[in-house]
């Protein structure tokens, strides 16, 4: 383990790690708390790609900082009292920390095979969950036939209800993981995901099926919530980028690969086997995780160590260095109340989340309509129907690599020059925003004109590229703007986009029936076109908006 863990980390290092662990930075990270941080000056470039620093509730109470959560803090970000308290903790014999830099209890010191084996397993589970969200989409007509339903609303809702679970699961899973660790949440949610996958497979009516799909999404969201934190627990900063790219492949490719597999599986075995297939893979991952995974959260490991030492020594004054002092009530309050406040009180948060919500909802509009489009217009049936999703997957993959390369290079360039500000992230989003409406116009009118099938497929690849080129820069921008409260900003984004992705597709079939595929997709394209100015506005006025903002949590 790197010896610099034992120096006081910088404020930006702690904020970065908190964002990767999936919680706000007023909860200690594996490096410690902000109280332990070295103060950073506004002139110095920040190591976490230049994020602006934001305020903390305890700083607000002391009156040392501005209350606004969007404003960058001043150089005197840490009071003398904070620094004295941090130094006193270093010399306090009642503070429990690692037993030196080579402590085997520290997950950073685990063997290479154990660390990367855990990362690969978590990435596999994270791939499986989004895959299940759309895997049975080509089999939707078979499901409607089985349950004797002709409702176009239910036809779309049975696909999108899965992401409705994503809106609620993370709000519960995140605070529970801070109290009980990541491992119980992985195991518990994996088991429940398997159970509800089997329940969906054996459903005897539409109500049961939709309810079980919702619970699949609710509990299946655990690796999406916990995966980034697990990687931050195990992998050093130098290697973490590679691990995060592997992990992020799941949410990117899973929803697009799923229907390809599901199309052929539905033809061969029937729609119920989509869920048996998911249950079998999830069950295997659950068995592997129970067999090989260990707790990685330093907060929980040190708390258990503290409790053990209290019993052994009888010293009730012992306290973990990473003890946040927050009650379970406070953890839940921060998890649920903060994102809501941030969504409705922050111009930046609401605008960016709205943009992400609409573009993410378009993805599920396409998921629910590809099957009838390619079946009715191009006569595709059986397993071939799943191949209609290949354009989205290809475009999304290209978009991810494009942003990772060019977006990060641009950020590093400005950091070296000392000119970085969060709005730099939006330049990629400003460019990417045009691809979504272009792709929708292309796909819609190519389908309407009944051109060769490759033409609308190419249009959907442009949509996929535009989706990733807006989604990734916008998410990174939220983290850079709301550093200390980045997890709350991301939770706000997750809730809004999941709700929109679940509800917007309900009217898509009626829209296409009334307007046709050309004007129907053009309507979506015009709405996407209205969103294009948002990143341009924040590039020009974002810094000024943050400076004048009065948002308080």
Residue 495 has pLDDT above 50, yes or no: yes
| H or E segment to which residue 96 belongs | strand 95-96
Buried b / exposed e over 129-162, threshold 16 CB at 10 Å, is: bbbbbbbbbbbbbbbbebbebeebebbbbbbbbb
Residue 88 has pLDDT above 60, yes or no: no
Residue 65 has pLDDT above 80, yes or no: no
Residue 177 has pLDDT above 80, yes or no: yes
| Percentage of the chain exceeding pLDDT 90 | 36
pLDDT band at 291; cut points 50, 70, 90: very high
For the record, the structure tokens of 80 come out as 């003398």
Residue 190 has pLDDT above 80, yes or no: yes
Residue 42 has pLDDT above 70, yes or no: no
Residues 487-513 have a mean pLDDT of: 88
Which of 248-262, 335-349, 432-446 reaches the highest mean pLDDT? Answer: 432-446
pLDDT tens column, 426-467: 999 999 999 999 999 999 999 999 999 999 999 999 999 999
Contact 96, 302 (CB under 8 A): yes
CA separation for the pair 118, 297 (Å, rounded): 13
The pLDDT, as a whole number, for residue 150 is 86
Residue 43 has pLDDT above 70, yes or no: no
Buried b / exposed e over 86-107, threshold 16 CB at 10 Å, is: beebeeeeebbbbeeeeeeebb
- Alpha carbons within 13 angstroms on the beta-carbon side of residue 315 total 12
For the record, the structure tokens of 245 come out as 């790219």
Write the DSSP symbol of residue 97.
Answer: -
φ, ψ of residue 530 to 5 degrees: the values are: -65, -25
Residue 81 has pLDDT above 70, yes or no: no
Task: Find the DSSP H helices in 137-236.
Answer: 140-146, 152-180, 182-201, 206-220, 222-234
CA separation for the pair 168, 336 (Å, rounded): 10
For the record, the structure tokens of 435 come out as 């691809």
pLDDT band at 180; cut points 50, 70, 90: confident
What count of residues does the chain have? Answer: 553
Residues 503-526 have a mean pLDDT of: 91
Residue 171 has pLDDT above 90, yes or no: no
Residue 478 has pLDDT above 80, yes or no: yes
Residues 18-41 have a mean pLDDT of: 69
CB neighbour list of residue 241: distance below 8 Å, 6 or more residues apart: none
The pLDDT, as a whole number, for residue 63 is 38
Q: Rg (Cα) of the chain, in Å, rounded?
A: 24
Could you give the C-alpha distances from 15 to 124, 373, 468, 486, 487, in angstroms and in order?
27, 46, 25, 9, 10
Residue 396 has pLDDT above 70, yes or no: yes
The pLDDT, as a whole number, for residue 241 is 73
Mean pLDDT score of the chain: 83
Which DSSP string do the residues of 369-409 spell out, in sequence order?
A: HHHHHHHHHH---GGGGGGGGHHHHHHHHHHHHHIIIIIHH
Residue 334 has pLDDT above 80, yes or no: no
- Of residues 171 and 188, the one with the higher pLDDT is 188
Contact 366, 392 (CB under 8 A): yes
Residues 12-40 have a mean pLDDT of: 71
Residues 43-64 have a mean pLDDT of: 37
Contact 194, 278 (CB under 8 A): no
Strand, coil or helix: what is 95? strand
pLDDT tens column, 120-161: 999 999 999 989 988 888 888 899 999 998 888 888 888 889
Residue 79 has pLDDT above 80, yes or no: no
pLDDT tens column, 212-238: 999 999 999 888 888 888 888 888 877
The pLDDT, as a whole number, for residue 431 is 92
Strand, coil or helix: what is 10? strand
CA separation for the pair 49, 39 (Å, rounded): 17
CA separation for the pair 13, 16 (Å, rounded): 5
Of 34, 13, 35, give the one whose Cα is nearest residue 25. 34
- Of residues 34 and 228, the one with the higher pLDDT is 228
- Of residues 326 and 500, the one with the higher pLDDT is 500
The pLDDT, as a whole number, for residue 77 is 41
Residue 547 has pLDDT above 70, yes or no: yes
CA separation for the pair 29, 302 (Å, rounded): 12
Contact 438, 395 (CB under 8 A): no
The pLDDT, as a whole number, for residue 213 is 95
pTM here is 0.83
pLDDT band at 57; cut points 50, 70, 90: very low
- Of residues 250 and 55, the one with the higher pLDDT is 250
The pLDDT, as a whole number, for residue 91 is 64
pLDDT tens column, 345-393: 888 999 999 999 999 999 989 988 888 889 888 988 877 888 888 999 8
Q: Are strands 319-320 and 95-96 parallel, antiparallel or unpaired?
A: parallel
Burial level of 63, CB count in 10 A (0-12/13-18/19+)?
exposed
- Of residues 533 and 173, the one with the higher pLDDT is 533
Of 33, 60, 54, give the one whose Cα is nearest residue 346. 54
Of 362, 163, 371, give the one whose Cα is nearest residue 262. 371
Q: Which of 36-45, 134-143, 501-510 has the lowest mean pLDDT?
A: 36-45
Write the DSSP symbol of residue 36.
Answer: G
Of 276, 286, 287, give the one whose Cα is nearest residue 198. 276
CA separation for the pair 476, 478 (Å, rounded): 5
- Of residues 550 and 441, the one with the higher pLDDT is 441
Domains of the chain plus CATH, in order, are 92-325 (1.20.1250.20), 338-553 (1.20.1250.20)
The pLDDT, as a whole number, for residue 435 is 96
CA separation for the pair 201, 86 (Å, rounded): 55
Strand, coil or helix: what is 1? coil
The pLDDT, as a whole number, for residue 481 is 87
The pLDDT, as a whole number, for residue 51 is 36
The pLDDT, as a whole number, for residue 36 is 61
Residue 71 has pLDDT above 70, yes or no: no
Q: Which of 68-82, 205-219, 516-530 has the lowest mean pLDDT?
A: 68-82
| H or E segment to which residue 345 belongs | helix 328-345
CA angle, 4 then 8 then 9, to 5°: 75
Contact 322, 181 (CB under 8 A): no
pLDDT band at 80; cut points 50, 70, 90: very low
- Of residues 411 and 214, the one with the higher pLDDT is 214
| Percentage of the chain exceeding pLDDT 70 | 86
Q: Which of 55-64, 118-127, 395-404 has the lowest mean pLDDT?
A: 55-64
CB neighbour list of residue 47: distance below 8 Å, 6 or more residues apart: 10, 12, 13, 16
């Amino acid at each position: 383990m790197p010896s610099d863990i034992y120096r006081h980390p910088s404020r930006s290092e702690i904020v970065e790690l908190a964002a990767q662990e999936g919680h706000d930075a007023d909860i200690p990270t594996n490096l410690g708390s902000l109280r332990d941080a070295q103060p950073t000056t506004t002139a110095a470039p920040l190591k976490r790609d230049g994020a602006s620093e934001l305020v903390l509730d305890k700083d607000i109470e002391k009156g040392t900082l501005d209350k606004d959560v969007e404003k960058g803090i001043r150089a005197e970000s840490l009071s003398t009292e904070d620094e004295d308290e941090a130094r006193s903790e270093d010399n306090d014999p009642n503070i429990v920390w690692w037993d030196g830099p080579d402590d085997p209890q520290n997950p950073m010191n685990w063997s290479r095979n154990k660390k990367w084996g855990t990362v690969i397993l978590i990435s596999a589970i994270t791939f499986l969950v989004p895959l299940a969200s759309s895997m049975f989409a080509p089999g939707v007509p078979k499901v409607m036939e089985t349950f004797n339903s002709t409702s176009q609303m239910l036809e779309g809702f049975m696909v999108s209800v899965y992401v409705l679970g994503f809106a609620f699961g993370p709000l519960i899973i995140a605070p529970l993981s801070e109290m009980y660790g990541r491992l119980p949440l992985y195991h518990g949610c994996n088991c429940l995901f398997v159970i509800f996958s089997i329940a969906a497979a054996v459903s005897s009516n539409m109500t049961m099926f939709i309810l079980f799909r919702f619970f699949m999404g609710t509990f299946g969201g655990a690796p999406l919530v916990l995966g980034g934190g697990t990687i931050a627990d195990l992998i050093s900063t130098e290697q973490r980028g590679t691990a995060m790219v592997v992990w992020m492949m799941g949410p990117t490719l899973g929803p697009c690969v799923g229907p390809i597999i599901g199309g052929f599986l539905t033809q061969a075995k029937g729609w119920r086997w989509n869920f048996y297939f998911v249950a079998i893979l999830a069950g295997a991952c659950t068995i592997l995780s129970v067999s090989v995974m260990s707790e990685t959260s330093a907060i929980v490991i040190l708390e258990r160590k503290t409790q053990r030492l209290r019993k052994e020594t009888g010293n009730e004054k012992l306290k973990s260095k990473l003890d946040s002092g927050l009650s379970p009530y406070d953890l839940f309050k921060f998890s649920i109340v903060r994102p809501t406040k941030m969504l409705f009180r922050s111009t930046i948060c609401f605008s960016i989340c709205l943009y992400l919500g609409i573009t993410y909802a378009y993805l599920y509009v396409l998921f629910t309509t590809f099957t009838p489009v390619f079946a009715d217009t191009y006569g595709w049936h059986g397993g071939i129907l799943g191949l209609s999703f290949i354009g989205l997957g290809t475009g999304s993959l290209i978009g991810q690599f494009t942003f990772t390369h060019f977006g990060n290079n641009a950020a590093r360039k400005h950091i070296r020059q000392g000119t970085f500000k969060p709005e730099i992230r939006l330049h990629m989003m400003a460019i990417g925003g045009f691809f979504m409406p272009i792709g929708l116009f292309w796909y819609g009118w190519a389908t309407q004109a009944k051109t060769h099938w490759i033409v609308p497929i190419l249009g959907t690849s442009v949509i996929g590229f535009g989706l990733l080129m807006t989604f990734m820069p916008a998410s990174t921008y939220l983290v850079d703007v709301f550093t200390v409260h980045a997890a709350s900003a991301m939770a706000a984004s997750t809730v809004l986009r999941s709700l929109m992705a679940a509800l917007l597709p309900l009217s898509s079939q009626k829209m296409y029936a009334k307007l046709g595929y050309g004007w129907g997709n053009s309507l979506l394209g015009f709405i996407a076109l209205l969103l294009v100015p948002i990143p341009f506005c924040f590039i020009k006025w974002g810094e000024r908006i943050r400076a004048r903002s009065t948002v308080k949590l």
